Structure 1
C-alpha cells in the first residue's frame, strides 16, 4: 500500500477481482504475460473494456479465445503496441498512393547478448518489429519466409519477410548484436526514409539528404508513441468499440508470431 500513499490514490485492492466492485470504467493489464489470458477473460466476462500490454498471449489459440469473448460480451480488447503511434513515422507512412506506392518497409530491432527461448524471443520482443511492419494484414502464414539462427545459448536471430502487393515487407531481430538499437526504413520510388531510433531520421531524395527531427522539447512518452497510444485507448473506452481493421491487425500479428515460433521450434528439435 506504500504506492497508494505515495501517489495519493483513494482506493486500491490486493486482488484484481475486487475491481469490479469499485466502479471502474476500464482496466489496463501490465502483469506477467502468463497471466494475461486469465485476467483479461475475467474482466471481459464482467463487461469491462480491457487494455493488455503486448503480447496478448503467447499462443494464438488463446488470442482467438479472448477476441471471441470480447465479441460475445460486447467489449473492446485493446493491445498496447506503442510503436504504432510513433509521431516521426506518421508523415512517411502517409506518403503511399497508387501513383507512388511504398516499395519496401523494413523494421530492425537489435539487442546485446540476449539469446533466448523461441517463444520468449518472438512474443516478448520480436513482436515489436513484426507488428511494426504488419500494416498490411492480408499476409498469410504460408507467405512468410523465415530464417532463424540457433546457437547452443538459444535463439539469437530471426529474419522474416513477405510481399504485400508491390510492397516488400521485412522484420529482423539480432539478440547477439554489438549494441542495442532499432532502425526503420521506408522506400518509395527514388525516395527513402531512414530512422535510427525515433527522434531523428533522414530523407534521401534527388541524391540529397535532409535531416528529419521531432520538434525540440518533444516529451519522451510522446516520441515513443505512448501518448498517442493512451489517447487512442481512452477514445476506444469512450466509444465502447475497437475498429475491425485494428482487431484484424492484432490477430494477424499474433498469428505471424505463432507461425514463426512453430517453425523455429521444429528447427530446434
Structure 2
C-alpha cells in the first residue's frame, strides 16, 4: 500500500509517521516543499529517495493508495481537492478548511467521487474518552486551556477549539436543540470562549481559556450520582464514594493515549478493505464551529 504523507511538521513526525511506518505492507511516500525537512525526515524513517517528493505532481505520480494531509490549514482545500480528484482516499488533520464553503465543497466532492475522506478528530478514539460513552452523561464538561495564547477568533476556533466542539458532539447522549456561545475578545484577539449545547435531558459545556494558568485538558461526565473525570487524556478518575484512579501505563505511546494511532489505523483498515468513509458527520462539527465564530465576531462588534 503506497501511502502519501503531506506536510512533515511536528504532528506528522511525532504522531503519525511512527504509526504509518510501522505497518506491514505500507510504503510511505513523503512530500514537503522544504528540501532540508524532506531529506532529514526521509533519512530518519529510511524512506528511499525515489519515495521523497518535492512537489504534489510527483507524489500523485507514484500512484498512491491513500494519503495523510498534515500541511497548514490554509492549503488544505487545494491539497485535498487534488487528492480527491485523483481518487486517493484522504485523511486530513482538522479542520478541513477555515472557510465553511470550502469544507462543504470538499465533502461533496468526496461523496460525488465515491472517495474516502476522513477528518482527524482523534479524541473520538482516545481510550479515556471512549470509556466515557458507557457512563451516565446528564452533564458533559470539557475544558481545554492554554497559557498566553490569545488569537484571532477564526483560526483559534477552527484549529484548536474544534476539538472541544467535536468531543461535545461525540459524547452528548442525545441531539441538542439549543446552542449558546459566550466569549471575551480584546483588540481582535479571542481570550476565552464557552459553548453550551442543550438537549431535553443533557447539557454539554465546552470551555477554552487562552490566558489560563496552565495548559490542560479536563473532561468530566456525570449523572446518576457518579462522575468520571479524564485529565489530559491520560488519567481516568471515577467518583462514586471514594475516587478510583486509573493512569496511562508507562509503556503506552502518546499517540495511542491520544487516539491518533487508532484513528490512523482505522483509516488504513478502511482503505485495505475497500470501505468508503464519509465526512458528513465531520462537516456538522465544522458547521457548529462556524456558528461559534459568527457569535464571537458579533459579540466583539
What's the TM-score once normalised by structure 1's chain length? 0.90
Which residue matches 1:259?
Answer: 291
Indicate the residue corresponding to 1:34 in structure 2.
Answer: 74
Aligned position for 2:244: 210
Counterpart of 1:239? 273
Q: 1:154: how far off? A: 1.2
Mapping for residues 184-203 of structure 1, pairs under 5 Å: 184-203=219-238
Which of these residues, 16, 22, 25, is aligned with residue 62 of structure 2? 22
* 1:7 aligns to 2:42 (yes or no): no
| Cα drift, residue 28 of structure 1 | 0.8
Quickly say closer, same or farther: Cα 1:94–1:241, change in 2 above 3 A: same
- CA-based RMSD of the aligned residues comes to 1.8
Q: Secondary structure at the match of 2:95?
A: coil
Q: Deviations over 1:201-224 (max 9, x none)?
A: 21111x221112233422221111
Unaligned runs of 5+ in 1: 96-100
Task: Assess, with a 3 A threshold, how the Cα gap between structure 1 residues 268 and 242 changes in structure 2: closer, same or farther.
Answer: farther
Note if 1:249 corresponds to 2:281: yes
Q: What is the alpha-carbon distance in structure 2 between the residues aligned to residue 14 and residue 240 of structure 1?
A: 29
2:264 matched residue in structure 1: 230
Match of 1:104 among 135, 139, 145: 139
Deviations 1:44-75 (A, max 9, x none): 01111011101111121111100110011110
In the alignment, structure 1 residue 220 sits paired with structure 2 residue 260: no
User: 2: CA distance between counterparts of 1:185 and 1:32?
Assistant: 31
Equivalent pair of 2:123/2:129 in contact (CA under 8 Å) = no
SS in 2 for 1:18: helix
Map Cα deviations across residues 133-188 of structure 1 (whole Å, 9 max, x no partner).
11258446xx2100011123611000001123412111110001111111000112
Task: State the number of aligned residues.
Answer: 259
Q: How many angstroms apart in 1 are the aligned matches of 2:287 and 2:126?
A: 23
Aligned with 2:142: secondary structure? strand
User: C-alpha distance in 2, partners of 1:164/1:19?
Assistant: 46
Task: Using the TM superposition, name which of 6-15 and 66-75 deviates more.
Answer: 6-15
Residues 124, 130 of structure 2: 8 Å contact kept:
no
2:26 corresponds to which residue?
A: none
Which 4+ residue blocks in structure 1 deviate beyond 3 angstroms? 136-140, 239-244
Q: Distance in 1 between matches of 2:43 and 2:244?
A: 50
Cα separation, 1, equivalents of 2:97 and 2:63:
27
Task: For structure 2, list consecutive stretches of 5 or more residues without a partner in the other structure.
Answer: 1-37
Aligned counterparts, 1:46-57, within 5 A: 46-57=86-97
Q: Which residue number in structure 1 is paired with residue 205 of structure 2?
A: 170
Choose from 86, 98, 105 the match for 2:126: 86
Equivalent pair of 1:147/1:160 in contact (CA under 8 Å):
yes
Residue 98 of structure 1 corresponds to: none
| 1:124-163 to 2 correspondences below 5 Å | 124-135=159-170, 136=172, 138-139=175-176, 143-152=178-187, 154-163=189-198
Q: Is the 8 A contact 2:118 2:277 kept in 1?
A: no
